[in-house]
Amino acid sequence: MTLPALTLYLAAPRGFCAGVDRAIKIVEMALDKWGAPVYVRHEIVHNKFVVNGLRDKGAVFVEQLADAPDDRPVIFSAHGVAKSVPAEAERRNMIFVDATCPLVTKVHNEAERHAAAGLQVVMIGHDGHPETIGTMGQLPDGDVLLVETPADVAGLEVRDATKIAFITQTTLSVDDTIEIIAALRARFPAIIGPHKEDICYATTNRQMAVKSIAPKIEALLVIGAPNSSNSRRLVEVGSAAGCAYAQLVQRATDIDWRALATIKSVGITAGASAPEVLVDEVIDAFRARFDVTVEIVETAQENIEFKVPRALRQPA
């Protein structure tokens, strides 16, 4: 049987970023150093495949520090935690390792610097996302105001319109953030922002890669988890760039093959917490159904690496 021809455009960069790579390595090294079980507060990264793989090795995932025992090591996820979490771990004399992405830590430091300078902080982020909770938790309750859309800016009640600064969640859509920042600057001309955009390099690069393949494709598949902010933004970026069909899939078994039955070109990318093995799985699934030609569209090269905490580089 002759299979229908199909071109797969692989976006590059895609998949794991340096922060995710480091976080996974931290859990693996902690298991090597202290043995199982090692507790992890919240999913280390937002990907079931990754989390289940670490669970099989002896990691235990809990949502709150209260769910972890005092006598076993605990790791804080890549998304970051409020200041109260390590403070509680210290109070309980726990061994803990912070796997917060260094780019998220940079935003935490910015928030504290602004507050120390007497500025009220506005955060652009998604309500309820662990990164947003962790970043807002660097300062006392109520000291950080959250905005999710340009419309939210109009309703902000600030202490002093001449003394405010903004920070952003690292995994947002660059385009959406531009609109919100414009609204903030229009209402508060004196507002102070980061010298360089807080959207992380990996989020930006993956979004640019999707924009570059969008004109070539009839459908876009983003491999990632439903609770992964950066993966969901990639779907939105694809749709905004003209992809009539843009879908988030966790792995090959989630693909709706009926929707793709007559198409000739598909774009594939992966969120920053999705491993390349899942991309390979999706490509193999296409090869089983189509005569596939693969084209890689590279818009940037990434060679950033973050060191793991010193505690894990020292022997037990």
131 belongs to the catalytic site: yes
Domain ranges, ordered by start, for the chain? 5-16+201-298, 18-100, 102-187
- Average pLDDT of the segment spanning 138-152: 95
- Average pLDDT of the segment spanning 54-65: 97
- Please tell me which residue in 28, 43, 110, 131 is annotated as part of the active site: 131
Q: Do domains 5-16+201-298 and 18-100 have the same CATH topology?
A: no
Q: Residue 226 corresponds to which tokens in the numbers above?
A: 């439903």
pLDDT value for 216: 95
What are the angstrom distances between the C-alpha of 239 and each of 148, 202, 231, 236? 19, 19, 13, 5
* 8 A C-beta contact, residue 137 and residue 167: no
Fold of 5-16+201-298: Cobalt-precorrin-4 Transmethylase; domain 1 (3.40.1010)
Query: Helix, strand, or coil here: 223?
Result: strand
pLDDT value for 316: 63
pLDDT value for 37: 98
Q: Residue 294 corresponds to which tokens in the numbers above?
A: 């693969």
pLDDT value for 172: 87
pLDDT value for 104: 96
Tell me the pLDDT of the chain averaged across its residues. 95
Which helix (H) or strand (E) covers residue 41, if one does?
Answer: strand 38-41
pLDDT value for 239: 96
* 8 A C-beta contact, residue 311 and residue 29: no
Q: Residue 219 corresponds to which tokens in the numbers above?
A: 């459908």
Share of the chain above pLDDT 70, in %: 99
What are the angstrom distances between the C-alpha of 48 and each of 133, 142, 235? 21, 33, 19
pLDDT digits (tens, 9 = 90+) for 295-310: 999 999 999 999 999 8
pLDDT digits (tens, 9 = 90+) for 174-233: 888 999 999 999 999 999 998 776 778 999 999 999 999 999 999 999 999 999 999 999
* 8 A C-beta contact, residue 97 and residue 309: yes
C-alpha dihedral (162, 149, 197, 104), degrees to nearest 10: 100
d(Cα 140, Cα 125) in Å, to the nearest integer? 18
Share of the chain above pLDDT 90, in %: 92
pTM flag (> 0.85): yes
pLDDT value for 112: 97
In the CATH scheme, what architecture does the domain 102-187 have?
3-Layer(aba) Sandwich (3.40)
pLDDT band at 10 (very low <50, low <70, confident <90, very high): very high
- The answer to whether domain 18-100 has CATH 3.40.50.11270 is yes
